[in-house]
C-alpha cells in the first residue's frame, strides 16, 4: 500500500481519538514508522497491522474499522486531497461509479508499484449498479464497502450496499450492488 | 454519418465523426483561409467558436514563435512540430498538440488537448473526465502533479518535524553536554559509553580514560557506603531506576559527595540498552547539612540547657520524640511517647485540650505553619504545670506538614508570677476604681492608659477612651475648650518640669450649679529620667469650697463682730476712763485738803471704789486682749524676789485689816534676775493674793517661790499662794479658771469681783509658757501653784522709783488740748501745782492755732476732740513751717487702751501717750521724759511715720532718685482719677467695673508698700468681684480714701516739692 493509505488511517485515528491514541495504536501494531509518505509504497502488512491495532485499541471489529476507513478515505482523503479530481469523476454517484473502472485504472498506471484492485461495473440500472471488486488482497472488501458508502455521502445520496458475491463464498471476486 | 478520411502511407483510415470525437475531442479543422471550419465536442464545450471564425481571432500560436501572423502556408510548415496555441477568447486556456496538413482536402487538422496546470482547472472549465479521450494522459499527468504536490507538502512537514527534532536533540545534547551535573551513559552491562563535560569536570576523568569501565570501579573508594554500593548493584541488576547519595573519589583522590539519579534505558522491544545517570556534586550541600546539623545540635543543647525540651512530631506516624527524656516535665518517661503517642496529650489539662485539637487541625489543613501556645499539663504527681509550646513545620509532604519541630518550656513560675501580678493589679485597680477621685493614667503623648469609674462612669466610654487623647474625650463630651487648654498646658508643664502640678477646675453644670475639682498631674519618671507616665487625679472639692466660702463669710462676720466688740470696748474704756480721770484727779486734790476724819474715810472709800472699778475695767480689757491675742509681753530684766516681795507687801495692809497673817516663803536667791514681763508676773501674784485675802476670814496667807529647774540659760520658777480660806468645791475646781466663773453663785454678791481674775491669771501664766494649778479643800483653804520659765538675765539696776521732783517743770509752758471740762480742771491743777504755765484749748483746731500763736514746751493732746481730733491736730502741727513748733513734744492723753493705739499715736507724729485715768506720778513720768531728760524729742518729731514703705521704694529705684520722683508723680496724678472712677462705679453699682478699678489701684498701692491701703483695696476688689458684702464697700472706700490722701500728701511732700 502506498503511504497515503496508512497516513489516512493515522489521520482518522488522530482526528477522532487524538495523537496519544495513535501512539498507542502504533505501539500496539508494532509498526515503527513515524512518518508515512503518500506516494511511497509500504508493505500491505503495515496497513493490516494498523487496522487490527485500531480495532483492538478502540475495541471495535476490524470490519467496522475498515468500513469507517473506507468512508474516511472518500470523504476526507479523497475530497480534501483530490477533491477536484473526484468531482471531475462525475456529476453524481451513478456517473462516478460508471467512471470508477477508468478512474481506478488510471491510478494503477500512475503508481507503478501499486497493485490496485480492479473495479468493474455492470447491471447499470436507473437506481442501482453492480460494482465488481477484483483484488488480490484478502479481507479488504469491507474497505471497499466503506468507500462505496463514502461515495454515497460525498454525493449526498442515500445508498444501500449489498454484497452479492464474495470470495469467501467461492466466487471469483466480490460484487456489490449499490442502490440509491 | 460523415466519415473523416485520413490518408496513410499505405492506406487511408476512415473514422466517423463520433469515433473521431471520441479519439480527439479537442480537434479543430482549418481551411486554407485559416478559418476554423470544424471543432471537436470537448473543444466546443471549452471554447465557443463560430463556424469559419478566423483562426487568428480565436487562437494565437505560442510555440514555435512565428515572425509573422500564421497564415495557411506557414502553418502547414509547422506540421510535425509540437504546437502550443493560446486561446484569445478565454483566458488561461492553452491547447497542446500538433498540426497535420491534409493535402487532399487542403486543410490543416489540429489534434491536441487543453494544457492545465492543475486538476482544479478541469472543474473550473466545466469539464469532466469523460470530456477527455480515454487515452489522453493529461488527466493522469494532472493527477501525478497533484500527488506530487501532496507529497511535497508532506515532505515539507516531515522536514520541519525532522528539523525541530534535530534542534531539540541538539539542545538536549548541549544540555547533557554542558550541564554542571555529570551525565553518564552506560551500556546494558553498566560500562561507560559516554560522559558529558560536567562529569569530566567533577571526576577529573576524560571519556577516553574511563570508556568501557563501570563508574563504580573508577569512582568508589574506602569511604563509599557499602550499603549504597550494594543498593546500586541491585537496582542495576534488576534494571530499576536508582537514586542515592554516596561518597565518590575524583581522579586526584579527593572525596566528594554525589547524588546519583539513574534510569535504565530500553529499546522498542523493551530490551535494556543501557543506563543513563545524572550525577550531582552535593559536597557543599552535605557540608551545609552537616553544619546545619551541628548548628541544630548546638541549638538543641542550648535550648535544653535553658530548660526547654525540644521535640519533633511526625503527623504521619503520630509520634513525638523528645530531646530530653527525663521525667521533669510530665513525671513519665518521655521516650515512651513513640510507643504511646497519646502520652503527652493525656497529660494536657482537660480544659486546655481544645487548644491543641484546634492547633492540630489547623496544621493538618495546612492553615498554619507554626504555633505558639500556652496551656496546662497535669504532672504525674497531679501538680498542674504551665507549658509554653512553640513549634514550626520543617518538613512537608504534598504541601501539608509532615513533621514539626518545637520546644516545651516550663512557664509555671512565670505564670504564677503573672497571677501574682494580676492579683496585685486587680487589688490596685479595685482600690483605684473605688477611690472617690477621678484617676487617669496617660502616656507621655497624653493618651489614656487607664481611667477609673469615678473618672468616667460609662463602662463603654471607659473602654473606648483607652488609647485616645484627652482632647478626644473633651470633644466627645462637648466640654468647654478652656478645660482642654488648661489640661494640655498643665500636661506639657509636667512633662517639661517633671514635677507635680495642680490646678482647680470650676465646672458649671447644666443646672447652673458649680462643681470644683482639684486636678493634679503627677509625672512618673523612669530610670532614664524620661517622663513615662503621667498620673492624673482629681478630687471633687465642691463641698470643701462651699464650706470654705461659708467659713469665710462666718470668719468675716466673726471679724466684724470682733471689730465691733473691740470698738465697743474701746469706747467703753474711753467713756469710763474719761470721767474716772476727773474723779481720781479731784479725789487726789481733795485728799490733800484739810479733812475731818470722817471725810478722809469717805475720800478713801471714793479712791478705793474707783480703784476697784479700774481693776474690773482693766481685767475685762486684759482678758479681751489675751483672747484676741493682742496682749504684748515685755521682755525686760527684773528681780523676781523683789516682785514677789512687793506684791506681798502691797497687800499686807489689807491683810492686817482682816487680821490675817502674811507669810513670805521665798527660796529664790535675792538677786535672781530674769528676762520677762515683770508687770504680768505682778498682775498674777496680786490677783492670787487679792483672792486669797478676799476668801480668807482667818488664818494665814502664805506666799512663796522656788526654783523648779534650771539650765545654763533658763530657769523655771514655781510660785504658790496658799490660804486658809473657804476653799473651792471639788466639782468647781475644773471650772475655776473659766472666764466669768466663780466658785459659788453668791461669791460676786458676797465678795465682789467679775470672775475674770483667775481666768486672766491662767491666760497670763500660759502666754508666758507657764502652767497654773489649784489644790483646795472646801472649808480648809486653797493653794494656787504656777510656774513660769524665764530666760536668765544679768543683774541690772532696777529702775529707781519715780521721785516726783516737780522743780524741773517750773515755768514750763504746757498746752493742754482737752474738751472735757473736768479733765481740763484736773490737768490744769496738777500742772499748776508743779509750777507749769498752762494754756487750755478744747479743740484740735484751737490747739494748732495756739501753737502757731504762742510758744510751748510740750503739748498734752486729748485724742477725741471736736472739729479736729488730736491726731489731725498733731499732724497739722508737724507740718508747720516753724521747725521748732513743728517739733514740739506732743503727748497723747487718751482713754482708749486697746492694742494698736500706741502705734497709731506714733504714726500721727505724737511722741508718747498717757492713758486715762492717770495719777500725778504717771503724768509726771511721761512729761519728765521730754522736759527734763535729754530725750531727743526733736528727732522723734521729725521722724514722722510714713504710710508708704520708703525702703521698698528705694530698693525698687536702686538709687535712682529720678525714678522715685517719677513713680511718685505718676501715683499722685493717676490714683485720684482711678479712685474717682472706682467711686463712680460703686455709685452706679457697676461692680465689675469697680473691681477692675480697685485692681488697678491695688497694684500701685502694692508697689509703694502702702500697707494700710493694701488690705482695704484688696477687700474692695474682692467684694466687687464676688458681689458679696457689697453694703460695706462704700465704707471701705472712705477708709481707703484717708490712706490714699495721706500717701499722696506724703509722697508729694517728700519727693515732689
Based on the fold, state whether residues A32 and A98 are members of the same structural domain.
no
Q: What would the mean pLDDT of B143-160 be, rounded to a whole number?
A: 85
Domain boundary among A41, A60, A79: A60
Based on the fold, state whether residues B907 and B954 are members of the same structural domain.
no
pLDDT at residue B1041, rounded to an integer: 85
Based on the fold, state whether residues B721 and B850 are members of the same structural domain.
no
Based on the fold, state whether residues A118 and A169 are members of the same structural domain.
yes
* Reported confidence tier of residue B757, pLDDT bands at 50, 70, 90: confident
- Backbone torsions φ then ψ of B576, nearest 5 degrees: -80, -45
Contact by Cβ (8 Å): B553, B561: no
* Reported confidence tier of residue B471, pLDDT bands at 50, 70, 90: confident
Q: Helix A3-17 and helix A44-58: axis angle, to 10°? A: 10
Most A CBs within 10 A among B42, B116, B134, B139, hence the mutation to make, goes to B139
Q: What would the mean pLDDT of A20-35 be, rounded to a whole number?
A: 88
CB contact under 8 A, A90 and B128: yes
CB contact under 8 A, A84 and B120: yes
Q: What would the mean pLDDT of B997-1019 be, rounded to a whole number?
A: 83
The minimum CA-CA distance between B270 and chain A, rounded to whole Å, is: 12
Based on the fold, state whether residues B62 and B144 are members of the same structural domain.
no
CB contact under 8 A, A84 and B122: yes
Q: Which residues of A lie inside 8 Å of B (Cβ-Cβ)?
A: 4, 7, 32, 35, 37-39, 81-82, 84-85, 87-91, 95, 99, 102-103, 106-107, 109-110
Taking the model in full, what pTM does it have?
A: 0.38
Q: Quote the cell numbers at residue A80.
A: 480534501
Weakest mean pLDDT among A143-147, B537-541, B619-623, B643-647: B619-623
CB contact under 8 A, B143 and A89: no
Supply the DSSP symbol for A75: I
* B255 has pLDDT over 80: yes
Domain boundary among A60, A83, A101: A60
Supply the DSSP symbol for B243: E
Supply the DSSP symbol for A73: I
Q: What are B777's strand-pairing partners?
A: B781
* Chain A residues with CB-CB distance to B139 below 8 A: 85, 88, 106
Task: Please tell me the distance from the alpha carbon of residue A16 to that of residue A28, in angstroms, as a whole number.
Answer: 18
* B581 has pLDDT over 90: no
The minimum CA-CA distance between A71 and chain B, rounded to whole Å, is: 20
Q: Is residue B528 part of a domain?
A: yes
Residue of B nearest to A83 (CA): B120
Based on the fold, state whether residues A16 and A52 are members of the same structural domain.
yes
- For B806, the 3-state DSSP assignment is helix
Q: What would the mean pLDDT of B427-447 be, rounded to a whole number?
A: 84
The minimum CA-CA distance between B264 and chain A, rounded to whole Å, is: 20
Q: pLDDT digits over B833-873, tens only? A: 888 899 999 899 999 999 999 999 999 998 888 888 888 89
Based on the fold, state whether residues A99 and A169 are members of the same structural domain.
yes
Beta strands across the sheet bearing B813-817: B837-841, B813-817, B858-862, B890-894, B912-915
Contact by Cβ (8 Å): B265, B274: yes
Most B CBs within 10 A among A29, A85, A104, A105, hence the mutation to make, goes to A85
Peptide bond into B464 cis (omega under 30): no
pLDDT at residue B744, rounded to an integer: 58
pLDDT at residue B260, rounded to an integer: 93
Based on the fold, state whether residues B265 and B314 are members of the same structural domain.
no
Q: Which of B330, B362, B363, B358 is nearest to B344 (CA)?
A: B330
* Reported confidence tier of residue B11, pLDDT bands at 50, 70, 90: low
Q: Is residue A133 part of a domain?
A: yes
pLDDT at residue B959, rounded to an integer: 66
* Chain A residues with CB-CB distance to B130 below 8 A: 99
Here the CATH number for the domain that contains residue B477 is: 3.30.450.20
**Count of Cβ atoms closer than 10 Å to residue B543 Cβ:** 9
**What dihedral do alpha carbons B489, B494, B500, B503 form, nearest 10°?**
0
Q: Is residue B428 part of a domain?
A: no
Task: Please tell me the distance from the alpha carbon of residue B302 to that of residue B319, in angstroms, as a whole number.
Answer: 24
Q: pLDDT digits over A34-92, tens only? A: 888 887 888 888 888 998 999 998 899 999 988 998 899 888 888 888 887 788 888 88
Q: pLDDT digits over B648-671, tens only? A: 887 877 888 888 888 888 899 888
Phi-psi region of B862 (alpha: psi -120 to 50; beta: other; left: phi over 0): beta
Based on the fold, state whether residues A26 and A98 are members of the same structural domain.
no
pLDDT at residue A32, rounded to an integer: 83
* B419 has pLDDT over 80: yes
Domain span holding position A31: 3-60
Based on the fold, state whether residues B293 and B327 are members of the same structural domain.
yes
Based on the fold, state whether residues A11 and A88 are members of the same structural domain.
no
Q: Bigger pLDDT: B958 or B567?
A: B567
Supply the DSSP symbol for B189: T
pLDDT at residue B785, rounded to an integer: 95
CB contact under 8 A, A82 and B146: yes
Of B130, B140, B150, which is closest to A38 when you measure between CB atoms?
B150
H or E segment at B861? strand B858-862
Task: Please tell me the distance from the alpha carbon of residue B846 to that of residue B843, in angstroms, as a whole number.
Answer: 5
Q: Quote the cell numbers at residue B880.
A: 508747720
- Backbone torsions φ then ψ of B909, nearest 5 degrees: 100, 5
The minimum CA-CA distance between B47 and chain A, rounded to whole Å, is: 18
pLDDT at residue B748, rounded to an integer: 54
Task: Please tell me the distance from the alpha carbon of residue B286 to that of residue B246, in angstroms, as a whole number.
Answer: 11
Based on the fold, state whether residues B378 and B523 are members of the same structural domain.
no
Based on the fold, state whether residues A33 and A97 are members of the same structural domain.
no
CB contact under 8 A, B140 and A7: no
Domain boundary among A60, A84, A99: A60
Q: What would the mean pLDDT of B181-185 be, rounded to a whole number?
A: 90
Contact by Cβ (8 Å): B679, B700: no
Q: Is residue B121 part of a domain?
A: yes
pLDDT at residue B359, rounded to an integer: 92
Based on the fold, state whether residues B255 and B313 are members of the same structural domain.
no
Based on the fold, state whether residues A113 and A50 are members of the same structural domain.
no
* Reported confidence tier of residue B705, pLDDT bands at 50, 70, 90: very high
Which of B27-31, B592-596, B643-647, B1033-1037 shows the highest mean pLDDT? Answer: B27-31
Average pLDDT, whole number, for chain B? 83
pLDDT at residue B745, rounded to an integer: 55
Q: Is residue B423 part of a domain?
A: no
Q: What would the mean pLDDT of B159-175 be, rounded to a whole number?
A: 85
Weakest mean pLDDT among A155-159, B751-755, B975-979: B751-755
Most A CBs within 10 A among B120, B121, B129, hence the mutation to make, goes to B129
Hey, is the C-beta of B138 within 8 angstroms of any chain A C-beta? no
Q: What would the mean pLDDT of B707-713 be, rounded to a whole number?
A: 91
Based on the fold, state whether residues A52 and A77 are members of the same structural domain.
no
Based on the fold, state whether residues A93 and A167 are members of the same structural domain.
yes
Q: Is residue B454 part of a domain?
A: yes
CB contact under 8 A, A89 and B129: yes
Based on the fold, state whether residues A78 and A144 are members of the same structural domain.
yes
pLDDT at residue B935, rounded to an integer: 38
Based on the fold, state whether residues B235 and B267 are members of the same structural domain.
yes
* Chain A residues with CB-CB distance to B271 below 8 A: none
Based on the fold, state whether residues B292 and B272 are members of the same structural domain.
no
Domain span holding position B461: 435-540
Q: What would the mean pLDDT of B300-313 be, rounded to a whole number?
A: 74
Based on the fold, state whether residues B501 and B360 are members of the same structural domain.
no
Q: Bigger pLDDT: B147 or A115?
A: B147
Q: What would the mean pLDDT of B367-381 be, rounded to a whole number?
A: 90
* Chain B residues with CB-CB distance to A38 below 8 A: 147, 150-151, 154
pLDDT at residue B796, rounded to an integer: 64
Q: pLDDT digits over B599-646, tens only? A: 887 887 787 777 777 777 777 777 777 776 667 777 888 889 888 888
Based on the fold, state whether residues B768 and B831 are members of the same structural domain.
no
Percent of chain A with pLDDT over 90: 28
pLDDT at residue B410, rounded to an integer: 85
Q: Is residue A65 part of a domain?
A: no
* B1019 has pLDDT over 60: yes
Handedness of CA B600, B605, B610, B615 (dihedral sign): positive
Q: What would the mean pLDDT of B477-496 be, rounded to a whole number?
A: 82
Q: Which of B630, B546, B565, B553 is nearest to B1032 (CA)?
A: B553
Q: pLDDT digits over B110-131, tens only? A: 999 998 888 888 888 888 888 8
Residue of B nearest to A80 (CA): B150
Q: Is residue A148 part of a domain?
A: yes
pLDDT at residue B940, rounded to an integer: 34
CB contact under 8 A, A81 and B146: yes
CB contact under 8 A, A99 and B154: no
Weakest mean pLDDT among B374-388, B495-509, B774-788: B495-509
* Reported confidence tier of residue B743, pLDDT bands at 50, 70, 90: low
Task: Please tell me the distance from the alpha carbon of residue B109 to that of residue B83, in angstroms, as a whole number.
Answer: 12
CA angle B812, B816, B819 (to 5 degrees): 165
Task: Please tell me the distance from the alpha carbon of residue B320 to that of residue B329, in angstroms, as a whole number.
Answer: 14
CB contact under 8 A, A102 and B146: no
Domain boundary among B540, B555, B586: B540
* B269 has pLDDT over 80: no
Which of B12-16, B711-715, B800-804, B1039-1043 shows the highest mean pLDDT? Answer: B711-715
pLDDT at residue B936, rounded to an integer: 38
Q: What would the mean pLDDT of B417-440 be, rounded to a whole number?
A: 84
The tally of domains found in chain A comes to 2
Based on the fold, state whether residues B819 and B904 are members of the same structural domain.
yes
The minimum CA-CA distance between A28 and chain B, rounded to whole Å, is: 11
Based on the fold, state whether residues A109 and A172 are members of the same structural domain.
yes
* Reported confidence tier of residue B4, pLDDT bands at 50, 70, 90: low
Q: pLDDT digits over B784-819, tens only? A: 999 999 999 887 655 554 556 677 788 889 999 988
The tally of domains found in chain B comes to 8
* B5 has pLDDT over 60: no
Q: Is residue A8 part of a domain?
A: yes
Amino acid at each position: 500500500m502506498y503511504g497515503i493509505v496508512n497516513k489516512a488511517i493515522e489521520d482518522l485515528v488522530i482526528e477522532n481519538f487524538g495523537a496519544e491514541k495513535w501512539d498507542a495504536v502504533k505501539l500496539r501494531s508494532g509498526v515503527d514508522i513515524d512518518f508515512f509518505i503518500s506516494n511511497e509504497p509500504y508493505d500491505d502488512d503495515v496497513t493490516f497491522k494498523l487496522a487490527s491495532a485500531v480495532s483492538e485499541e478502540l475495541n471495535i471489529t476490524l470490519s467496522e474499522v475498515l468500513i469507517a476507513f473506507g468512508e474516511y478515505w472518500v470523504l476526507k482523503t479523497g475530497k480534501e486531497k483530490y477533491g477536484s479530481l473526484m468531482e471531475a469523476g462525475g456529476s453524481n454517484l451513478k456517473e462516478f461509479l460508471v467512471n470508477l473502472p477508468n478512474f481506478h485504472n488510471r491510478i494503477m498506471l500512475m503508481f507503478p508499484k501499486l497493485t490496485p484492485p480492479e473495479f468493474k461495473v455492470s447491471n447499470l440500472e436507473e437506481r442501482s449498479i453492480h460494482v465488481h471488486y477484483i483484488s488480490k488482497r484478502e479481507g479488504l472488501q469491507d474497505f471497499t464497502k466503506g468507500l462505496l458508502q463514502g461515495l454515497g455521502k460525498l454525493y449526498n445520496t442515500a445508498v444501500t450496499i449489498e454484497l452479492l458475491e464474495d470470495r469467501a463464498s467461492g466466487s471469483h471476486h466480490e460484487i456489490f450492488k449499490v442502490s440509491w | 454519418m460523415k466519415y473523416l478520411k485520413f490518408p496513410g502511407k499505405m492506406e487511408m483510415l476512415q473514422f466517423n465523426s463520433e469515433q473521431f470525437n471520441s479519439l480527439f475531442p479537442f480537434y479543430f479543422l482549418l481551411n486554407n483561409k485559416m478559418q476554423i471550419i470544424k471543432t471537436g465536442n470537448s473543444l466546443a464545450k471549452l471554447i465557443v467558436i463560430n463556424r469559419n471564425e478566423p483562426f487568428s481571432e480565436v487562437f494565437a500560436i505560442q510555440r514555435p514563435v512565428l515572425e509573422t501572423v500564421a497564415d495557411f502556408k506557414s502553418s502547414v510548415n509547422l506540421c510535425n512540430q509540437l504546437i502550443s496555441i493560446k486561446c484569445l477568447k478565454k483566458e488561461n486556456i492553452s491547447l497542446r498538440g500538433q498540426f497535420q496538413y491534409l493535402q487532399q482536402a487542403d486543410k490543416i487538422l489540429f489534434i491536441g488537448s487543453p494544457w492545465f496546470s492543475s486538476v482544479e482547472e478541469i472543474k473550473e472549465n466545466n469539464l469532466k473526465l469523460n470530456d477527455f479521450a480515454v487515452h489522453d494522459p493529461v488527466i493522469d499527468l494532472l493527477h501525478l502533479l497533484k500527488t506530487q504536490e501532496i507529497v511535497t507538502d508532506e515532505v515539507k512537514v516531515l522536514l520541519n518535524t525532522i528539523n525541530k527534532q534535530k534542534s531539540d536533540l541538539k539542545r538536549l545534547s548541549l544540555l547533557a553536554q554542558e550541564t554542571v551535573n555529570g551525565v553518564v551513559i552506560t551500556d546494558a552491562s553498566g560500562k561507560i559509553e559516554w560522559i558529558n563535560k560536567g562529569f569530566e569536570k567533577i571526576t577529573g576523568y576524560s571519556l577516553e580514560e574511563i570508556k568501557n569501565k563501570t563508574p563504580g570501579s573508577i569512582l568508589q573508594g574506602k569511604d563509599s557506603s557499602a550499603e549504597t554500593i550494594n543498593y546500586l548493584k541491585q537496582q542495576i541488576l534488576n534494571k530499576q531506576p536508582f537514586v542515592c547519595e554516596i561518597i565518590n573519589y575524583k581522579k586526584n583522590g579527593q572525596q566528594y559527595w554525589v547524588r546519583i539519579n539513574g534510569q535504565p534505558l530500553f529499546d522498542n522491544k523493551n530490551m535494556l540498552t543501557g543506563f543513563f545517570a545524572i550525577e550531582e556534586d552535593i559536597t557543599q550541600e552535605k557540608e551545609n547539612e552537616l553544619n546545619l546539623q551541628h548548628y541544630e545540635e548546638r541549638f538543641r543543647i542550648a535550648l535544653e540547657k535553658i530548660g526547654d525540651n525540644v521535640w519533633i512530631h511526625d503527623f504521619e506516624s503520630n509520634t513525638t520524640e523528645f530531646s530530653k527524656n527525663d521525667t521533669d516535665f510530665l513525671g513519665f518517661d518521655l521516650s515512651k511517647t513513640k510507643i504511646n503517642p497519646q502520652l503527652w496529650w493525656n497529660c494536657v489539662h482537660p480544659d486546655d485540650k481544645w487548644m491543641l485539637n484546634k492547633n492540630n487541625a489547623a496544621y493538618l489543613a495546612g492553615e498554619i505553619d507554626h504555633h505558639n501556645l500556652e496551656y496546662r499539663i497535669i504532672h504525674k504527681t497531679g501538680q498542674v504545670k504551665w507549658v509554653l509550646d512553640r513549634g514550626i513545620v520543617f518538613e512537608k509532604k504534598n504541601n501539608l506538614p509532615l513533621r514539626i519541630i518545637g520546644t516545651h518550656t516550663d512557664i509555671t513560675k512565670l505564670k504564677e508570677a503573672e497571677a501574682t501580678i494580676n492579683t496585685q493589679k486587680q487589688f490596685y485597680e479595685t482600690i483605684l476604681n473605688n477611690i472617690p477621685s477621678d484617676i487617669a493614667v496617660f502616656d507621655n503623648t497624653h493618651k489614656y492608659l487607664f481611667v477609673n469609674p469615678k473618672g468616667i462612669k460609662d463602662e463603654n466610654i471607659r473602654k473606648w477612651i483607652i488609647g485616645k487623647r484627652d482632647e478626644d474625650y473633651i470633644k466627645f463630651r462637648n466640654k468647654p475648650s478652656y478645660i482642654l487648654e488648661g489640661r494640655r498646658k498643665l500636661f506639657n508643664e509636667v512633662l517639661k518640669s517633671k514635677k507635680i502640678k495642680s490646678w482647680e477646675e470650676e465646672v458649671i453644670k447644666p443646672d447652673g450649679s458649680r462643681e470644683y475639682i482639684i486636678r493634679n498631674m503627677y509625672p512618673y519618671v523612669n530610670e532614664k529620667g524620661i517622663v513615662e507616665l503621667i498620673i492624673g487625679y482629681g478630687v471633687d472639692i465642691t463641698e470643701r469650697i462651699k464650706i470654705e466660702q461659708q467659713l469665710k463669710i462666718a470668719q468675716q462676720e466673726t471679724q466684724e463682730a470682733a471689730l465691733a466688740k473691740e470698738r465697743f470696748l474701746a469706747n467703753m474704756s474711753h467713756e469710763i476712763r474719761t470721767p474716772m480721770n476727773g474723779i481720781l484727779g479731784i479725789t487726789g486734790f481733795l485728799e490733800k485738803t484739810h479733812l475731818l476724819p470722817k471725810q478722809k474715810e469717805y475720800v478713801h472709800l471714793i479712791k478705793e471704789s474707783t480703784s476697784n472699778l479700774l481693776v474690773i475695767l482693766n481685767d475685762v480689757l486684759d482678758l479681751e486682749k489675751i483672747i484676741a491675742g493682742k496682749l504684748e509681753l515685755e521682755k525686760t530684766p527684773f528681780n523676781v524676789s523683789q516682785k514677789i516681795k512687793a506684791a506681798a507687801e502691797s497687800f499686807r495692809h489689807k491683810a492686817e485689816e482682816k487680821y490675817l497673817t502674811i507669810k513670805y516663803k521665798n527660796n529664790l536667791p535675792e538677786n535672781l534676775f530674769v528676762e520677762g514681763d515683770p508687770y504680768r508676773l505682778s498682775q498674777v501674784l496680786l490677783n492670787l493674793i487679792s483672792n486669797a485675802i478676799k476668801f480668807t476670814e482667818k488664818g494665814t496667807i502664805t506666799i512663796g517661790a522656788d526654783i523648779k529647774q534650771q539650765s545654763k540659760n533658763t530657769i523655771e520658777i514655781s510660785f504658790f499662794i496658799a490660804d486658809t480660806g473657804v476653799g473651792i468645791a471639788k466639782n468647781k475646781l475644773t471650772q475655776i479658771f473659766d472666764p466669768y466663773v466663780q466658785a459659788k453663785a453668791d461669791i460676786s454678791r458676797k465678795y465682789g469681783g467679775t470672775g475674770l481674775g483667775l481666768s486672766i491669771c491662767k491666760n497670763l501664766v500660759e502666754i508666758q509658757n507657764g502652767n497654773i494649778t489649784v489644790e483646795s479643800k472646801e472649808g480648809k483653804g486653797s493653794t494656787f501653784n504656777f510656774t513660769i520659765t524665764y530666760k536668765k538675765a544679768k543683774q541690772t539696776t532696777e529702775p529707781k522709783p519715780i521721785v516726783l521732783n516737780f522743780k524741773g517743770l517750773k515755768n514750763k509752758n504746757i498746752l493742754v488740748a482737752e474738751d472735757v471740762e473736768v479733765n481740763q480742771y484736773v490737768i490744769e491743777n496738777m500742772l499748776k501745782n508743779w509750777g507749769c504755765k498752762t494754756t487750755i484749748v478744747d479743740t484740735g483746731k484751737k490747739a494748732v492755732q495756739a501753737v502757731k500763736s504762742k510758744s510751748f514746751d510740750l503739748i498734752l493732746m486729748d485724742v477725741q476732740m471736736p472739729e479736729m481730733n488730736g491726731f489731725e491736730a498733731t499732724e497739722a502741727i508737724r507740718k508747720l513751717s516753724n521747725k521748732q513748733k513743728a517739733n514740739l513734744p506732743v503727748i497723747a492723753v487718751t482713754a482708749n487702751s486697746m492694742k494698736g493705739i500706741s502705734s497709731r499715736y506714733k504714726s500721727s507724729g505724737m511722741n508718747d501717750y498717757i492713758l486715762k485715768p492717770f495719777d500725778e506720778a504717771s503724768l509726771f513720768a511721761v512729761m519728765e521724759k521730754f522736759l527734763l531728760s535729754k530725750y531727743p524729742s526733736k528727732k522723734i518729731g521729725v521722724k514722722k511715720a510714713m504710710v508708704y514703705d520708703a525702703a521698698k521704694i528705694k530698693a525698687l529705684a536702686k538709687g535712682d532718685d529720678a525714678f522715685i520722683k517719677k513713680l511718685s508723680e505718676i501715683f499722685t496724678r493717676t490714683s485720684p482719677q482711678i479712685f474717682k472712677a472706682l467711686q463712680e462705679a460703686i455709685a452706679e453699682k457697676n461692680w465689675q467695673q469697680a473691681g477692675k478699678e480697685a485692681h488697678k489701684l491695688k497694684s500701685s498701692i502694692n508697689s509703694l508698700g502702702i500697707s494700710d491701703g493694701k488690705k482695704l483695696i484688696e477687700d474692695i476688689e474682692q467684694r466687687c468681684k464676688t458681689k458679696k458684702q457689697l453694703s460695706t464697700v462704700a465704707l471701705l472706700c472712705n477708709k481707703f480714701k484717708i490712706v490714699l490722701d495721706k500717701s499722696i500728701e506724703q509722697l508729694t511732700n517728700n519727693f515732689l516739692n
